[in-house]
Amino acid sequence: MAETSILTTTQGAVRHITLNRPTALNSFTADMRGALLQALNDAAADTAVRAVVITGAGRAFCAGQDLADPAMVDTGNGPDVGAVIDRFYRPLALRVRSMPVPVLAAVNGVAAGAGANLALCCDLVLAARSASFIQAFSRIGLVPDCGGSWLLPRLVAMLSRALAETRRVLDEASTLDLPDALALEASAQRELGRGADFREGVAAFFAKRPPQFQDR
């Protein structure tokens, strides 16, 4: 019997959607993406549903696009990855972001590529100790999809001032020559080195504990 790639259950007012290709780390196929979108549409249309939880079966949340999926097979001219994005990942990301109820991602293992960005699309991410978030696109010569290019800069800016400054410095340094980039680094480090996050980070390093940065 073929496995059902998306499982749905309802507990009270909570709709649980489970990505169910555990032997393939819940990587996306065309059928699975379509079934997930339909499950989200069904939840959005059900007025009894007050929250949605997306999780993965087995030891992964979602390993991203299944590169063995027929849509990704190179038939000689290269697969039309852009068509896959337009047809599947664009409506999926927009559906998650426009849900009328909160959507939570319960990440129980690896969340890679489009799987990581699907989780980041959600209103809240609950990460198990086994969770890991991997942007693996550069390893296969691609850029982030499923909304990653929009989500990551905004989420990074929320994490801490240092991460936001890293993004700013990287953006600015890309247009400079090396001497000016070095001057930019010095300016940024001078300001950050006077901040509470730097002091906390150094203290945590020597105490061998996670840092407790200030909320932003």
136-160: pLDDT as tens digits: 776 767 778 888 888 877 776 555 5
Claim to verify: residue 66 and residue 113 sit in the same structural domain: yes
132 with 171, same domain: the answer is: no
Residue 98 covered by a domain:
yes
pLDDT for the residue 160: 56
Residue whose pair of structure tokens reads 């940024």 in the numeric block = 188
Same domain, 27 and 101: yes
d(CA 166, CA 172): 10
**To 5 degrees, how large is the angle CA 166–CA 173–CA 144?**
60
- Average pLDDT value over all residues in the chain: 84
Is the domain of 141 the same as that of 174?
Answer: no
**181 and 80, same domain (yes or no):** no
This prediction's pTM: 0.70
- Asked whether residue 26 is assigned to any structural domain, the reply reads yes
pLDDT at 112 over 70: yes
Q: What are the b/e assignments for 92-114, b being 16+ CB within 10 Å?
A: bbebbeebebebbbbbbbbbbbb
Helix (H, G, I), strand (E, B) or coil at 88: helix
Residue 185 and residue 87 share a domain:
no
> Per-residue pLDDT tens for 171-191?
888 888 888 888 888 888 878
Same domain, yes or no, for 76 and 45? yes
For residue 213, pLDDT over 70 is answered with no
Domain count, the chain: 2
